[in-house]
Structure 1
Amino acid sequence: MTLLFDKHRLIVSPGLAPTELRETEEFGGGQSADAVLTIGLVNNMPDAALQATERQFMRLLEQAAGKTQIRLHCFSLPSVHRSQTAKWRVDEQYGDIADLPRLDIDGLIVTGAEPIAAALRDEPFWQDLVDIIDWAKDNTRSTIWSCLAAHAAVLHLDGIERHRLATKCSGVYDCATTAGHWLTKELPSPLKTPHSRLNEVRADDLTASGYQLLTQSAEAGVDIFAKQLRSQFIFFQGHPEYEALSLQREYLRDITRYLGGERDTYPAIPAGYFDIWTEKKLAGFQQRARAERKLPLSIELPGLTLRPDIATGTAAAAIFKNWLQYLTGGAATGQDEEPTA
């Protein structure tokens, strides 16, 4: 598979090729693509996760594409605050979001962002997100909304409010398929999906507004859900794109923030993620950190070992394969996919 980046620059990632290559060079030996898709990635993740998010979605698209050629255009909302270094990367490597309407996008992926305000409508990027939601509804075959972007989309579309959780939902959870849908075709059930969020939208609120619940966890709640508008909207409350160490990096970041006085509460250990011996060591470190609470203590964190059965990325590969098949017209359709708005 060949993944082409819109600014004619090579991003260091497997499967990328400069856009100026001729088709016979791109696929080798005159092999042609079965289909060509144009996909947009609106990456609003915080600076520390910006490049990792690029890599995660590029890897999934590469694994899922087969002989489909993907032209990937990366964007970030200009209202998302960036450090100078991250802003330079976005300016150099990403497209101008104003150019989105001229690109004939087939599929769009919109990530979450680091929350700043208590209410979504008070976020500095709220209006930019609303504009993307309205545009995607009429101008894409399907759009994936991830985490905070999913919460923003359902709030704007149907007035569904998110609810603050008592403690952060963080870990790898068993999520069972709850409805037949082309996105969950050949998906393992239960599938293990990473979640990392402070808020949730609830099943009853979603179903009352015509959303179809696709996967759900007894512990984490709604995982993936969908709604057919003029575009097929797919929503992730979790992060199927996460790599094995993504939750570990977030957990260590939150510990450092606690020790440095940037957060009031000590982070909970991600559920179903570390092995039992690591959890015991981390519980001991937590007691010490609460007693001493000083930043240099972070260098004394114990070695960490993940559970061998977390299988991060397995479900995501199947999800994105099905999504690309839908974009090319290869997925089976049913009554649930008829436009409702």
Structure 2
Amino acid sequence: MPIKIPDSLPATAVLESENIFVMTEYRAMHQDIRPLNVLILNLMPTKVITENQLLRKLSNTPLQIKVEFLQTASYTPQHVDTQHMESFYTTFEQVKDRWFDGLIITGAPLAFVPYEKVHYWKELCTIMDWAKTHVHSTMHICWGALAGLYYHFGIPTVEYPEKLSGVYPNTVLKQSSPLFRGFDDVFLAPHSREVGILKKDVDKVPELELIADSEQGGPTILKTTDSKNFFVLCHLEYDANTLALEYQRDSEKGLHPHIPYNYYPDDDPTKKPIVRWRSAGQLLFSNWLNYYVYQTTPYDIGNK
């Protein structure tokens, strides 16, 4: 998929070096087609890494996509280059009167913070409420998914006895779902979280469909019956070394983390991890864009 991003965004050079088709702003302006407008609310402290991960996944179908990045105004990231944020990110106030084909809400390292205590919780709720009328389909990832399930449906978050970290098998529960076209019946995906949700709480919400789960991690992927919202609790956007970096970080903090499950060959952290989720990740994002965004969004999205 040709993705349209600012020419000077750091991800541009990274993606081009990986032979990913990145369309220049000039070329995109001279194509007589309407690109899909996708907004990414990036809540991760590692902004650039997350940008690269998501842009890789949005780059593998024939559709043209214009990607914009959104930041919170009520909380300023502490470990991000200010110039980068000013150059490539916008605020909700600047986009609230526009319409978007897709919205992605990322995760955030806030597992043990009560939602109402999150610095930008009110703003996030405002954005999720706005998306009901201004976004065709929204994908929530990990903490973003947990926050979305709590906000929209009141589903509580439960704490695990120990952190779920590794590459786990996940079972497709609804094989007829277009989201899983091309998927195997069981697919591997990275999980990295200390909290999750319970199936019994999902079953109480008739507007929700549980479409994939994991024996170890519980509900993995859910959607609303109207396909307006998707909730993905695994990390199919992760790079090969993301779990390794998290393991090293937690080890250096003296947290004594378990070696990520099913990740290193022979459970040996000195060996290079084997990526076994890349194709599933490409399919997840491509299928969401194609079947739930492109195929059903109106051409003039501002006049729905």
Tell whether the structures are fold-level matches, with TM greater than 0.5. yes
Percent of aligned pairs with the same amino acid: 25
Aligned residues: 287
Q: Which has the larger radius of gyration?
A: 1
Greater per-residue helix proportion: 1
| d(CA) in 1 for partners of 2:88, 2:35 | 22
SS of structure 1 residue aligned to 2:261: coil
Which position in structure 2 is the counterpart of 1:233?
Answer: 229
Which position in structure 2 is the counterpart of 1:314?
Answer: 279
**Alignment partner of 1:55 out of 52, 61, 85:** 52
**Does the 8 Å CA contact 1:41/1:110 hold for their aligned counterparts?**
yes
Q: What is the CA distance between 1:277 and its match in structure 2?
A: 5.4
* Matching residue's letter, 1:320: F
* Matching residue's letter, 2:282: A
Q: What is the CA distance between 1:81 and its match in structure 2?
A: 4.3
Q: What is the CA distance between 1:20 and its match in structure 2?
A: 2.9
Q: What is the CA distance between 1:84 and its match in structure 2?
A: 5.8
SS of structure 1 residue aligned to 2:284: helix
Q: What is the CA distance between 1:21 and its match in structure 2?
A: 2.9
SS of structure 1 residue aligned to 2:194: strand
| d(CA) in 2 for partners of 1:305, 1:225 | 32
Does 2:2 match 1:2?
yes
> Where in structure 2 are there 5+ consecutive unaligned residues?
298-304
Q: What is the CA distance between 1:266 and its match in structure 2?
A: 1.0
**Does the 8 Å CA contact 1:3/1:69 hold for their aligned counterparts?**
yes
Which position in structure 1 is the counterpart of 2:22?
Answer: 16
Which position in structure 1 is the counterpart of 2:211?
Answer: 214
Which position in structure 1 is the counterpart of 2:295?
Answer: 329
* Matching residue's letter, 2:220: D
| Structure-2 change in CA distance of 1:23 and 1:128 (3 Å) | closer
**Does the 8 Å CA contact 1:163/1:199 hold for their aligned counterparts?**
yes
SS of structure 2 residue aligned to 1:21: helix
**Does the 8 Å CA contact 2:9/2:88 hold for their aligned counterparts?**
no
Which position in structure 2 is the counterpart of 1:195?
Answer: 191
- The residue correspondences of 1:129-278 to structure 2 (distance < 5 A) are 129-179=124-174, 180-210=176-206, 211-229=208-226, 232-258=228-254, 265-276=255-266, 278=268
Q: What is the CA distance between 1:56 and its match in structure 2?
A: 0.9
**Does the 8 Å CA contact 1:8/1:20 hold for their aligned counterparts?**
no
Q: TM-score, normalised by structure 1?
A: 0.78
**Does the 8 Å CA contact 1:107/1:140 hold for their aligned counterparts?**
yes
Q: What is the CA distance between 1:119 and its match in structure 2?
A: 1.1
1:55-87 CA distances to partner (integer Å, 9 max, x unpaired)? 111111112x22x11011111223344226433
Does 2:83 match 1:88?
yes
**Does the 8 Å CA contact 1:9/1:18 hold for their aligned counterparts?**
no
| Structure-2 change in CA distance of 1:143 and 1:22 (3 Å) | closer
**Does the 8 Å CA contact 1:44/1:80 hold for their aligned counterparts?**
no
> Where in structure 1 are there 5+ consecutive unaligned residues?
27-31, 259-264, 283-302, 332-341
| d(CA) in 1 for partners of 2:91, 2:166 | 34
Does 2:104 match 1:109?
yes
SS of structure 1 residue aligned to 2:144: helix
